[in-house]
Amino acid sequence: MGRWEPGARGRLGEAAMELFAERGFEGTTVSAIAERAGVTERTFFRHFADKREVLFSGADDARDVLLRTIAEAPPTQPLLEVITAAMQVIAEEAFSDHLEQARARQAIISSNAELREREMLKFAVVTTELAEAVRSRGVPEPAATLTAELGAILFRVSLHRWLEADNDRPLAELITDSLQHLRAVTSPA
Amino acid sequence: MGRWEPGARGRLGEAAMELFAERGFEGTTVSAIAERAGVTERTFFRHFADKREVLFSGADDARDVLLRTIAEAPPTQPLLEVITAAMQVIAEEAFSDHLEQARARQAIISSNAELREREMLKFAVVTTELAEAVRSRGVPEPAATLTAELGAILFRVSLHRWLEADNDRPLAELITDSLQHLRAVTSPA
């Protein structure tokens, strides 16, 4: 891709979110998104497979960071802690300054059954890839799958808490807090 | 429903599983299932909304047992243990004598993207109901949602292990074993 592309991608994302808010997800066409961003439809399709993908492209970036962090982690650190630390980096870099944008995105997804299913599938695919990355670090099953599933739950629960209307705690802090709750819930009586 | 109904429901389930194995899921019609079971299509639709539901009706029964057990649990027992114990009862009563049937069912679901999504949605719905039941017992958030999500993961991972070709351990034992792995994975370094 040429060096102008990140700019077009960013403008397309912003234009799509504006239009989803103004006209609803169903009422927004790819042609309208491209027009608002000042690019051609062809350029849109160079960046996104369809208008739904605009909402989920960030998940792929987060997935890449997670997989790289697992691959490079020191061999002695428990991988759930590695995953938690990586999610906190993602929280700081990709989420912390974008609370209103994240709330708008979640409102669009929540209002549409097809998007809710797509989100669930995305989580499932990333969880499967996480488990594979954990196995590659020598963790046997079922520990590898359990580690990946716990990472996915921690992120989902923390994100949900962060997006709540009355929340004022940062996402990274909520991830730490949710891990503590997770440990309390799993400890024997 | 009349007292003959459980028999018709059971025959419809068996007929559907036979036909899915013989002709594939896509190649099986409701009409063929009803004919094989010796009942009318109308009777089929009294028991199942569509042919997919034949594969998932057991999940509703399991859900009912889980919700009842949570509601009746002694107030001091940690609810993840209550859920684990209830899943073990379900494993003994509904799964233990039906390994081949469960493997056939999973093979049908795995071969069809729509069915895999349906299974994922079913799990998500039951998990949401579980969290609601746990909250009703006075457990605040995020512990309630984490408890329900952990219960769902334990069941999914244990079921997957039970269905593996080389497994010879009972499902109830694998649930206990998976809980121990879960605790090991979550414990701090």
Nearest to B86 by CA among B142, B152, B138: B152
Mean pLDDT of B34-61: 92
Question: Is the CB of A161 inside 8 Å of chain B's CB atoms?
Answer: yes
* Least confident span in A161-165, B58-62, B152-156: B58-62
Q: Report chain B's mean pLDDT, rounded to a whole number.
A: 91
| Reported confidence tier of residue B5, pLDDT bands at 50, 70, 90 | very low
Mean pLDDT of B65-73: 92
| Reported confidence tier of residue A2, pLDDT bands at 50, 70, 90 | very low
Contacts of B186 in chain A (CB under 8 A): 80, 150, 182-183, 186
Residues of chain A numbered 50-89 and touching chain B (CB < 8 Å) = 76-78, 80-81
Question: Closest partner residue to A150 among B80, B160, B186, by Cβ?
Answer: B186
pLDDT of residue A96: 86
CB atoms within 10 A of CB A121: 16
pLDDT of residue B4: 37
Mean pLDDT of A128-140: 95
Q: Which CB contacts under 8 angstroms, 24+ apart, belong to A165-173?
A: A170/A91, A170/A92, A170/A96, A171/A91, A171/A95, A171/A96, A172/A88, A172/A91, A172/A92, A172/A96
Provide the token pair at B135: 């909250």
Per CATH, the number for A58-186 is 1.10.357.10
Mean pLDDT of B107-117: 91
Mean pLDDT of A22-27: 93
pLDDT of residue B2: 33
Query: SS3 helix, strand, coil % of chain A, rounded to 5?
Result: 75, 0, 25
Percent of chain A with pLDDT over 90: 76
DSSP code of residue A92 = I
CA distance A121 to B155: 19
Peptide bond connecting B78 to the previous residue in cis, omega within 30 degrees of 0: no
Q: What is the pLDDT of residues B21-41, one digit of tens each?
A: 999 999 999 999 999 999 999
Q: What is the pLDDT of residues B115-161, one digit of tens each?
A: 998 999 899 999 999 999 999 999 999 999 999 999 999 999 999 99
Nearest to A186 by CA among B149, B189, B158: B149
- Complex-level ipTM: 0.87
What's the Cα-to-Cα distance from A63 to each of A58, B82, B177, rounded to whole Å?
9, 34, 29
Contact B178, B158 (CB under 8 A): yes
Task: Flag if A77 and B117 touch (Cβ within 8 Å).
Answer: no
Question: Is the CB of A153 inside 8 Å of chain B's CB atoms?
Answer: yes
CA distance A173 to B49: 45
CA distance A67 to A78: 15
Q: Domain limits of chain B? A: 8-50, 58-186
Question: Closest partner residue to A77 among B124, B147, B189, by Cβ?
Answer: B189
Q: What is the pLDDT of residues A88-130, one digit of tens each?
A: 999 998 888 889 889 999 999 999 988 998 999 899 999 999 9
Q: Specify the higher pLDDT residue, B58 or B179.
A: B179
Contacts of A150 in chain B (CB under 8 A): 153, 182, 185-186
Percent of chain B with pLDDT over 70: 96
pLDDT of residue B167: 94
Contact B150, A186 (CB under 8 A): yes
pLDDT of residue A6: 59
Give DSSP secondary structure letters for B88-101: HHHIIIIITT-HHH
Contact A79, A137 (CB under 8 A): yes
Map tokens 């028991």 to a residue: B47
Backbone angles phi, psi at A27, to 5 degrees: -80, 0
Contact B129, B105 (CB under 8 A): no
Model confidence at A131: pLDDT above 70: yes
Provide the token pair at A25: 């997800």
| Reported confidence tier of residue A1, pLDDT bands at 50, 70, 90 | very low
Model confidence at B102: pLDDT above 70: yes
Model confidence at A18: pLDDT above 50: yes
Phi-psi region of A24 (alpha: psi -120 to 50; beta: other; left: phi over 0): left
Per CATH, the number for A8-50 is 1.10.10.60
What's the Cα-to-Cα distance from A26 to each of A9, A10, A21, A22, A51, rounded to whole Å?
21, 21, 11, 11, 10
| Reported confidence tier of residue B3, pLDDT bands at 50, 70, 90 | very low
Amino acid code (one letter) for B155: F
Strands (E), chain B: none
pLDDT of residue B96: 86
| Reported confidence tier of residue B6, pLDDT bands at 50, 70, 90 | low
Mean pLDDT of A52-79: 89
Interface test with B, best of A135, A145, A147, A185 (most B CBs within 10 A): A185
